[in-house]
Structure 1
Amino acid sequence: MDSFPIFVRLRAQPVILIGEGDTADAKRRLLERAGAMIVGEADQAARLAFVALDDPDDTAVRLKARGLLVNAADRPDLCDFTLPAIVDRDPVLIAIGTSGASAGLAAALRQRLEALLPPSLGALARLLHQSRESLRARYPDASARRRFIGGLLAAGAPLDPMIEHPDPAIPGEGAPDPARLERITLRSSDPDELTLRAARLLALADRIYHPSDAPPAILDRARADAVRIVGPAPALALPGLSVEIL
């Protein structure tokens, strides 16, 4: 991973934009959508800078010397950060980046995703946000709550995010199984060859038992906060969802 993806809140924050023409105008529109306050190079409060010049080298070096993070249009070698192609289903944002390798590829992927993702995705996100306290009360255990939500959002489930939901609502549900152990057998070290069931179990697991030579690319398909344990799973499953890789 050449770049670390983050989402930065820019509303009412000063951001330097230097340049003119179509490229600078596109950056300006994007910053305005994010609510940024666009300022000139002299502004000392800014922490980000966008440079859209035919010859950006001197300007980029000057801004970097002040400690700013710089994006230079069409010059990935000068960029501290790059701009992704964006699929906007407010408040859901999907960013597609190539570390500056090909903006055209990122744009093509964005167009495909635009056609796949339903317009109601933002409404679904707002529903889940508004339901956080009630779900905490219903499922005080974080792992149980995560499994319940994961079940709601699974393919074909009541709140499958890939399906249009004109008026999404959280259905009632009984308490989930407090202890569950699932086993998956790898067919190869290629994560793209995981079955849908295996990929879903890895994404939902609270802990993963795996051999010492388990492919890192497979383990990367699990949640970042899932506990990784080298060795076989115990006979008695611990609370939550445990997955053993065979």
Structure 2
Amino acid sequence: MSQIASLPLFHQIAGQSVLVLGDGPAAEPKRRLVERAGGVIVDDLARAVDEGVRLAFIAYDDPRACEVAAINARCAGMLVNVVDRPELCDFTTPSILDRDPLLVAIGTGGASAGLAKHVRLRLERVLPETLGLLAKALEAARPALRVKFPEGPDRRRAVDAALREGGALDPFDPASFRKVDDWVEDMALPASGAIFDVTLTSADPEDLTLRQARLLGEADVLLIDGAVPSAILARARADAAREPMREGSANGPGLTLILRWRPAAPETGS
């Protein structure tokens, strides 16, 4: 199975106390981040322990002071972030692209905050400012979607069809948020039972075609023929069913993707 360096989570802290220790340029961005997320800053370790605070940011200039504070906070049950000391961190903070309520978080596990920032700056240029409006419109449409498609898999298939590239609600179309009501009114369930057969010859996910990558991201069922590399399977939906390919197994609702592993023979010298 393909491994990831850390588990990405979105932690809701509105109205909750968060410990922030330290002064100066290292601590100030953490204070702004906590306040932006609605948290209440506590700057005293003893008080944080008494109040049962769960998150701590530590940004002392003195490395030894950071180490001691991290140990004390962790012993009190807090998850700890020490600025510029990834080896002391239980969690790291990503570079955030904000299209409220849609957030894109880019992290490197503490390897390079600068890299995360510049990836975010590139994405800022290509992701429409109206993505947040699209997210809110889709949220408002949930009751109507549940009435039209009572079954969860049917709703997901309908939304997938609309949001894919060139779909009725393509996220890269800045005007998509205006089309949600009409889409809900007029939409029909995409044809069920679609089956696609893909033969893979490379273990590198970068060698996937755009179509193959899209099918991996949308498939309800993966039928696996051979030792398909974990790096390829990591591109599939996490909740997609995964089964070995057997006679008659390519039959069911939703999108089924048959993945056949047929690696290219290694080149031999002359």
Shorter-chain TM band: over 0.9
Which residue of the partner structure matches residue 221 of structure 1? 235
Q: Does 1:11 align with 2:14?
A: yes
Q: Which runs of 4+ in 1 moved over 4 A?
A: none
Identity across the alignment (%): 44
Matched, 1:174 2:188: yes
Q: Which amino acid aligns with 1:124?
A: L
Structure whose alpha-carbon radius of gyration is higher: 2
1:175 deviation in Å? 2.7
Q: Which stretch shifts more, 105-114 or 142-151? A: 142-151
| C-alpha deviation, 1:235, in angstroms | 6.7
Map of 2:57 onto structure 1: 50
Asked whether the 8 Å contact 1:14–1:37 carries over to 2, the reply is: yes
Distance 2:241 2:137 in 1: 29
1:59-81, CA deviations, whole angstroms, 9 ceiling, x for partnerless residues?
11111111111100111111110
Give, as a single letter, the amino acid of the residue that structure 2 aligns with 1:84: P
Counterpart for residue 174 of structure 2: 164
Question: How far does the alpha carbon of each residue in 1:200-227 deviate from its partner, in whole angstroms, 9 at most, with x for none?
Answer: 1111111100124111111111111100
Q: How does 1:198-213 map to 2 (within 5 A)?
A: 198-213=212-227
**Does the CA contact (< 8 Å) of 1:187 and 1:194 recur in 2?**
no
Contact 2:141 2:180 (C-alpha < 8 Å) held by counterparts:
no
Please say if residues 211 and 245 of structure 1, whose CA atoms lie closer than 8 Å, have aligned partners that are also in contact: yes
Residues 11-42 of structure 1 deviation map (CA, whole Å, 9 limit, x = unaligned): 00000000111121111111110000111222
Counterpart of 2:118 in structure 1 is: 108
What RMSD in Å do the two structures reach over aligned CA positions? 1.4
Q: Is the 8 A contact 1:232 1:244 kept in 2?
A: no
What SS does structure 1 have at the residue aligned with 2:29? helix
2:42 counterpart letter in structure 1 = V
Structure 1 stretch displaced more, 5-14 or 57-66: 57-66
Does the CA contact (< 8 Å) of 1:182 and 1:242 recur in 2? yes
The answer (yes or no) to whether the contact 2:161–2:190 under 8 Å persists in 1 is: no
TM-score using structure 1 length = 0.95
TM value normalised by structure 2: 0.87
Asked if 2 retains the 8 angstrom alpha-carbon contact of 1:124 and 1:168, the reply is: no
- Counterparts in 2 of 1:1-246, with a 5 A limit? 1-40=4-43, 41=45, 42-43=47-48, 44=50, 45-55=52-62, 56-165=66-175, 167-170=178-181, 171=183, 172-232=186-246, 234=248, 237-246=251-260
How far the C-alpha of 1:233 sits from its partner, in A, is: 6.2
